[in-house]
Amino acid sequence: MLARNEAPAVGEPFFAAAQTQAPGTRTRLVARLRAGGLDRALAAGADPLGSTALAARAARLGEPRTRAAVADQLDGLVQAVRHPRGHSRIPPRRASVMANAAALGHLAELLRGPEALYVSGTAMLNDLLRDATGPAYVGTSHELTARLADADDLLRRGQPLASPRPDTVRLAARR
């Protein structure tokens, strides 16, 4: 664990770096308003210390409460296809989600566990849950399998994607 004024080592999970300085109220608000774009940038390998907004978003994603919320949403994705409730939102793609139910459950348990995880993986999962044009909603089961495997790798090792989605690269470049 880092001392309060010590810089994080390269490749170290961000949870330690987030403890060096708490972001201000304005920075936290900006990070909340731009959460989708910041999540895509973090998942694409952006340095969490590259901007105050990225640092604030990474700190938020590393909080146990946020990890638990993302885990609950992963479980909710599976429940939404097992027990559909009306038509108030875009339904997940049943075949893709059911084919990946075990992987979704595994990732949810990993997020709920005590293990230190890289926020880039949490960011990718959060983006996957929000993106109604992504593999959980319109893609094939193979696309969802690949995205979940990428998220698992990012959670555990913090490795950037071998071939990020083109839209993610553009978003990360605009920051």
> Quick one: 82 and 116 in the same domain?
yes
pLDDT tens digit string along 45-103?
888 888 888 888 988 899 999 999 999 999 999 999 998 877 657 889 999 999 999 99
Give the count of domains, the chain.
2
Per-residue pLDDT band at 21 (split at 50, 70, 90)? low
> Quick one: 43 and 69 in the same domain?
no
In a domain, 51, yes or no: yes
| Domain that includes residue 91, residue range | 64-162
In a domain, 2, yes or no: no
> Quick one: 58 and 77 in the same domain?
no
In a domain, 8, yes or no: no
pLDDT tens digit string along 113-134?
999 999 999 999 999 999 999 9
In a domain, 81, yes or no: yes
At 43, is the secondary structure helix, strand, or coil? helix
> Quick one: 98 and 146 in the same domain?
yes
> Quick one: 18 and 55 in the same domain?
yes
**For position 129, what pLDDT does the model report?**
94
Question: Is the distance from CB of 94 to CB of 57 less than 8 angstroms?
Answer: no
> Quick one: 79 and 139 in the same domain?
yes
pLDDT at 162 over 70: no
In a domain, 41, yes or no: yes
Predicted structure pTM score = 0.75
Instruction: State the CB neighbour count (10 A cutoff) for residue 144.
Output: 25
